[in-house]
Amino acid sequence: MDWMSIKEISLDQVIFWQWGPISLNGTIVFTWAVSAFMVLFSHLITRKLSTDVPLSRWQNLLEVVVEGMLKEIREISQEEPGSYLYFVGTLFLFILVSNILTIVPGFLAPTASLSTTAGLAICVFAAVPVYGIMSRGFLGYLRQYIEPTLFMLPFNIIGELSRTLALAVRLFGNIMSGTKIVAILIAIVPLVFPVLMHALGLLTGVIQAYIFAVLAMVYIASATRAQKQKKGRQKQKGEHS
Amino acid sequence: MLIDWFTVAAQIINFLILVGLLKHFLYDRIIRAMVEREGRIRARLEEAEKKEKESDAEAEKYRRKNIEIEEKRKGILEKARGEAENQRIELTQKARQEVENLRTRWRESVQREKTSFLRELKQLAGHQVYAVTRRAIKDLADENLEERAVHVFLKKLENMKREEKNKLAEAFKKDGNKATVRSGFELSKSQRQQITRTLHEQIENDTEVRYEMDTEIIFGIEVKSGGEKLAWSLEGYIKALEDQTRVALEKEAEAEDAEKESKEITNGEEIREEGSR
């Protein structure tokens, strides 16, 4: 069973250039490609925006996307999107574009690499306390780990870590498997059927982008909102007494 | 090993850079554009609302103006109707007045005709009476009627009262001792002498007497001076005849007038009815 090497499972092993510990592998190169594409595309459209009606089709597309994300964030966090949009929105768009571009022949999605998904999951793992501390203060944020009792501290920490791991592995597994299934099917049935699987892969990719972003938002929101709910509860108590 | 930690670090950095780039090139620009457009649209809507309110106010104003004009129109119409009614009444009155004037004029002309007819009749009757009387007197008494007239005139002179004579004498003097005797027929020389003599005897001695013939007098003699006058003529008799004739004519004219008036009243009513229609 040597037909699927580790090289084929991870894009990290496709190395273009190496200098000591620094290696320019496929993951990084394709990430750059996706980033450049997104930035260039955005710049081309947004450099001459219309602030009145009518507006161009492309501008309309971007506005629909941004407005949709704002709406989604507003619904989940129950507050104004503010700076959440930059972080969560970029997560969503990066994963979405990476996954959709897999239909381009020769392109390999960077999200199919566990390194990329781990990196993104670490970003979320770091963003949760950052947003939490920004909204509740340092002690306020730490206190949520010992709630409802001190006994819950280890479970809270384990939960925090495990969900980050789950985030990384879920995305990696889905995208990687999608790519690999197509590769395997091409070996078995060369025509038509792989196309259907590819289409399914696209759908999975879009759904995964949405899930990743929504989960990130939920984690951040839970870190910032717990405090507010508590405050609300205290207020209610005060009113009752 | 599926995870290459260097790649993980690089991906984290890549992601953070992408966040920054997209913030600058995508989110901020798009959100700014949307906010600006929203603002513009809101401003436009507000302006539209304002304009709508303005136009509503304008419409209300015009509606009110229309009502005002309608009222004014009604007022003018009412006034015109009143004026027309007044005019009609005035015109009717004028017409009636004109009819009245015409009737008056007609009456006057009838009166004039009557008068002239009477004058002619008087003259004619006088002449006829004179002619008939002269012939009758001549035939019956075989005496000249004119001589009888002179005789009567002279008798009248003689029978005058003293005051009257004095009055006449003063009138003669005032006129520079001149007197005029007018007769309806030619007086003979002896008759003239007789009259002159009688005047001298009875009134004033030095009076210069002039003789004139005037057919207007018809038959008779009169002496005139300084506004005083002594006369005897057929005039008195003719006057009686004239009076009687006039009475007869007037009676006839009144009867005619009464008939005409009744006719005019019915005409006037017809005119009024037509006007009110």
B28-39 per-position pLDDT tens digit: 999 999 999 999
Q: State whether B14 and A31 contact (CB < 8 Å).
A: yes
Is the Cβ–Cβ distance between A145 and A240 less than 8 Å? no
Report pLDDT for B149: 80
Preferred mutation among B19, B24, B25, B26 to probe A, highest tally of A CBs within 10 A: B26
Bigger pLDDT: B226 vs A103: A103
Find the CB nearest A52 among B11, B26, B37.
B37
How far is it, in rounded angstroms, from Cα B78 to Cα B69?
14
Q: What residues have CB less than 8 Å from B30, skipping those under 6 apart?
A: A46, A49, A59, A62, A63, A66
pLDDT exceeds 80 at position B150: yes
Across the range A169-175, mean pLDDT stands at 87
Residue type, A138: F
Pairing assessment for the beta strands B178-183 and B208-213 based on DSSP bridges: parallel
Bigger pLDDT: B111 vs B142: B111
Average pLDDT of the residues of chain B: 83
Report pLDDT for A1: 34
CA atoms within 13 A on the CB side of A120: 31
B226-249 per-position pLDDT tens digit: 777 777 776 666 667 667 776 776
**Structural domain count, chain A:** 1
Residue B72: burial class (beta carbons within 10 Å; 0-12, 13-18, 19+) = exposed
Domain that holds residue A71: 6-240
| CA-closest candidate to residue B154, choices B206, B189, B201, B209 | B201
Is the Cβ–Cβ distance between A6 and A13 less than 8 Å? yes
Find the CB nearest A94 among B3, B8, B18.
B18
How far is it, in rounded angstroms, from Cα B232 to Cα B226?
18
Is the Cβ–Cβ distance between A205 and A96 less than 8 Å? yes
Report pLDDT for A98: 93
| A contacts of B12 (beta carbons < 8 Å) | 119, 122-123
**Domain-embedded: residue A110:** yes
Is the Cβ–Cβ distance between B214 and B183 less than 8 Å? yes
Bigger pLDDT: A142 vs B261: A142
A6-42 per-position pLDDT tens digit: 455 677 777 888 887 788 888 899 999 999 999 999 9
Q: What residues have CB less than 8 Å from B6, skipping those under 6 apart?
A: A21, A22, A23
pLDDT exceeds 80 at position B127: no
**Domain-embedded: residue A1:** no
How far is it, in rounded angstroms, from Cα A117 to Cα A212?
10
* Count of CB atoms situated within 10 Å of the CB of A204: 15
Q: State whether B7 and A119 contact (CB < 8 Å).
A: yes
**Domain-embedded: residue A58:** yes
Across the range B158-170, mean pLDDT stands at 83
Report pLDDT for A32: 94
Q: State whether B25 and A21 contact (CB < 8 Å).
A: no
Percent of chain B with pLDDT over 90: 35
Report pLDDT for A2: 40
Percent of chain A with pLDDT over 90: 34
User: In this structure, what are the phi and psi dihedrals at residue B182, rounded to the nearest 5 degrees?
Assistant: -115, 140
How far is it, in rounded angstroms, from Cα B84 to Cα B195?
78
**Domain-embedded: residue A142:** yes
Report pLDDT for B157: 82
Report pLDDT for A3: 42
Percent of chain A with pLDDT over 70: 89
Bigger pLDDT: A213 vs B228: A213
Is the Cβ–Cβ distance between A98 and A111 less than 8 Å? yes
Q: State whether B30 and A32 contact (CB < 8 Å).
A: no
B15-64 per-position pLDDT tens digit: 999 999 999 999 999 999 999 999 999 999 999 999 999 999 999 999 99
Is the Cβ–Cβ distance between B195 and B230 less than 8 Å? no
pLDDT exceeds 60 at position B68: yes
Q: State whether B30 and A110 contact (CB < 8 Å).
A: no
Report pLDDT for A231: 57
pLDDT exceeds 60 at position A89: yes
| A72 φ/ψ sector (left φ>0, alpha ψ -120 to 50, else beta) | alpha
Report pLDDT for A121: 92
pLDDT exceeds 70 at position B258: yes
* Count of CB atoms situated within 10 Å of the CB of A80: 10
A39-75 per-position pLDDT tens digit: 999 999 988 888 777 888 999 999 999 999 999 999 9
Local confidence band at B76 (pLDDT 50, 70, 90 cut-offs): very high
Q: Where are the domains of chain B?
A: 60-143+260-277, 144-233
Q: What residues have CB less than 8 Å from A206, skipping those under 6 apart?
A: A96, A99, A100
pLDDT exceeds 60 at position B176: yes
pLDDT exceeds 60 at position B142: no
The per-residue DSSP string of B206-261 comes to: T-EEEEEE-GGG-SEEEEEETTEEEEEETHHHHHHHHHHHHHHHHHHHHHHHHHHH
Average pLDDT of the residues of chain A: 84
* Cα angle value A199/A202/A207 (rounded, 5°): 130
Query: What radius of gyration, in Å, describes the C-alpha atoms of chain B?
Result: 59
Preferred mutation among A5, A14, A42 to probe B, highest tally of B CBs within 10 A: A42
pLDDT exceeds 80 at position A199: yes
DSSP state, A17?
E
B189-217 per-position pLDDT tens digit: 888 888 888 888 888 778 888 888 877 77
B64 CA: distance to closest CA in chain A (Å)? 39
Q: Where are the beta strands (DSSP E) in A6-154?
A: 15-19, 22-25
pLDDT exceeds 80 at position B184: no
**Domain-embedded: residue A155:** yes
* Count of CB atoms situated within 10 Å of the CB of A136: 21
Report pLDDT for A234: 60
A119-161 per-position pLDDT tens digit: 999 999 999 999 989 888 888 888 888 877 888 888 888 988 9
Across the range A198-210, mean pLDDT stands at 90
Preferred mutation among A86, A125, A169 to probe B, highest tally of B CBs within 10 A: A86
